[in-house]
Structure formats: C-alpha cells, structure tokens
C-alpha cells in the first residue's frame, strides 16, 4: 500500500496523508469491506453490475486520480436475491465469491468462487496459474440453511418476514478470505459453519516448497504484517452488533 490513509464512507474513499491532511476523494460504491491499494496508488475493490442480464460481481481497479481503469474476474453475483420484486444483496458466509488479495509486490492473487486454482493477474488482467489449494466438499445441512435465514435475512423494520430467495451452493465455500505476507506465505481462512459456537478461525498456510500448515486463531484475521497475524476478537453485544479488540499473534516459522 502507498503511504496514504484510505477511509471509506459508503459512497467514496477519502484519501488522507499520514498527518490527516486531505488529498482527494475517490467516488466509488464497493461491495463488502475488502480493498487494496498498491505502491503506485492504484485501488482495487469488489463491485457489482446490475446492468447485465444477470447481476455480476467483478474486481475494479481505480488509478490515483479516481478513474476506473480496469474490470477483472467477472462472475455472477450469487449474493443477489429477490425480495418483494426488488433486487436485494444479502451476503452470508455460504455465498461463493471470488477471493482476492494484493501481495507486498502489488500483485493481485485470486481464488475463483468455485475451484481450487489460485492464480495471479498480470498487467493486462490475464489469469496466470500460481498454485492449487486443498479443498473439501462440505454439504450444507438443513439446520445450517435455517440458521443462515434466521441470522442474515431476519425481517423488515415492522418485523414482517421478508420473502427472500437465497442462492445456495451445493457445498459450503471452503475458504472465505486470503491474506499474503512479506515472505510469500498465503493464509487461506476457512469458512466456518454458522452453527459453530466459537469465534475462532482455522487458517491453512501455503508456502512454496513447504508443507501446508494449519493455524487456529481466537478471532477473525484482518491483516498479516512482519510475521504477525492481526485479528479482531468479536463479542456479541446482544443487539446484533459485534464489538471487540484487535489482537495479534506471531506466525510460527
């Protein structure tokens, strides 16, 4: 990432210097919370397109002046559902999405929403195979589907149930997040069952010419930097909001 601070307010990125001096705004409506900025100041984030015959998601690239200069990895946006004749995006952990991450050399790596081939994007946006990950087919049970509907659909402000059509995959997406450190290690965060009682995360660590390692963290991994994994320890406050502290854990060699 470059030396600036990027703050997203729901409609744009506000770019500030380290001493909080305003630099510029980048108007963009992104999907989710993940975004990356390379050393040149180019910003990468997930977006969706409702103009296509079927809603699509893609990885968008904006230059330092805020101009859209690239659209990559277009796939159907499976998080789009219909509720009362309106299109509603209802993200939940069992919706397969393309996973992507930026390494310290500003190279984009991604794992498709289905499959096990991790690839990198070259300067022209062409996918170059990098390595494969081990995945397992984990069926989604009826109890898990019921819990997803309870937790992620809920109701309207009037407490009337919403008639939402959810798009389930046949199998639970095995991974939900990718992190990459300065040593070329890939941290693949597994998708936990919604029925799991704990707030832990299971991480598979891949590195060239080394055997895959498994890590357990007592929270949700955020970033990895200088051999430390930073994660948030979530605590349900009872009203649907998650609050918690940022912790770090040293990554074993």
pLDDT band of residue 106 (cuts 50, 70, 90) is confident
Pairwise CA distance, residues 112 & 191, whole Å = 15
What's the domain count of the chain?
1
Contact 54, 19 (CB under 8 A): no
pLDDT band of residue 220 (cuts 50, 70, 90) is confident
Pairwise CA distance, residues 134 & 113, whole Å = 14
Find the distance separating the first CA and the last CA of the chain, reported in whole Å. Answer: 25
Q: Is the pTM of this model over 0.75?
A: yes
Cα 140 to Cα 77, 137, 143, 145: the distances in Å are: 19, 10, 8, 7
| Cβ-defined contacts of 121-124 (< 8 Å, 24+) | 121/72
Q: Is residue 197 part of a domain?
A: no
Q: Is residue 217 part of a domain?
A: no
Least confident span in 80-84, 118-122, 210-214: 80-84
Q: Is residue 244 part of a domain?
A: no
pLDDT of res. 159: 46
pLDDT of res. 158: 44
Q: Is residue 91 part of a domain?
A: no
Q: Is residue 23 part of a domain?
A: yes
Mean pLDDT of the chain: 81
Cα 252 to Cα 160, 164, 182, 192: the distances in Å are: 50, 44, 14, 23
Cα 45 to Cα 52, 101, 113, 223, 249: the distances in Å are: 19, 10, 16, 16, 27
Mean pLDDT over 176-199 rounds to: 88
Q: Is residue 108 part of a domain?
A: no
Q: Is residue 235 part of a domain?
A: no
Can you give the residue range of the structural domain that contains 3? 1-47+58-74
- Assess whether pLDDT exceeds 70 at residue 242: no
């Amino acid at each position: 990432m470059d030396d600036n601070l990027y703050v997203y307010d729901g409609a744009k990125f506000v770019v500030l210097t380290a001493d909080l001096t305003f630099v510029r705004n980048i108007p963009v409506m992104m999907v989710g919370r993940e975004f990356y900025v390379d050393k040149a100041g180019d910003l990468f984030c997930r977006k969706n397109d409702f103009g296509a015959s079927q809603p699509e998601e893609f990885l968008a690239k904006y230059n330092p002046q805020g101009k859209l200069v690239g659209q990559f990895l277009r796939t159907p946006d499976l998080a789009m559902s219909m509720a009362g004749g309106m299109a509603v995006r209802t993200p939940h952990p069992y919706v397969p999405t393309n996973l992507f991450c930026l390494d310290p050399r500003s190279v984009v790596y991604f794992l498709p929403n289905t499959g096990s081939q991790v690839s990198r994007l070259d300067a022209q946006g062409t996918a170059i195979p990098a390595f494969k990950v081990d995945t397992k087919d984990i069926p989604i049970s009826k109890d898990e589907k019921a819990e997803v509907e309870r937790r992620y659909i809920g109701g309207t402000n009037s407490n009337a149930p919403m008639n939402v059509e959810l798009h389930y995959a046949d199998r639970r997406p095995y991974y939900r997040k990718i992190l990459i450190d300065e040593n070329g290690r890939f941290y693949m965060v597994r998708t936990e069952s919604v029925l799991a009682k704990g707030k832990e995360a299971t991480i598979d660590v891949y590195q060239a010419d080394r055997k895959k390692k498994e890590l357990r963290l007592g929270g949700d991994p955020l970033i990895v930097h200088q051999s430390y994994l930073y994660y948030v320890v979530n605590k349900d406050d009872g009203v649907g909001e998650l609050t918690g502290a940022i912790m770090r854990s040293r990554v074993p060699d």
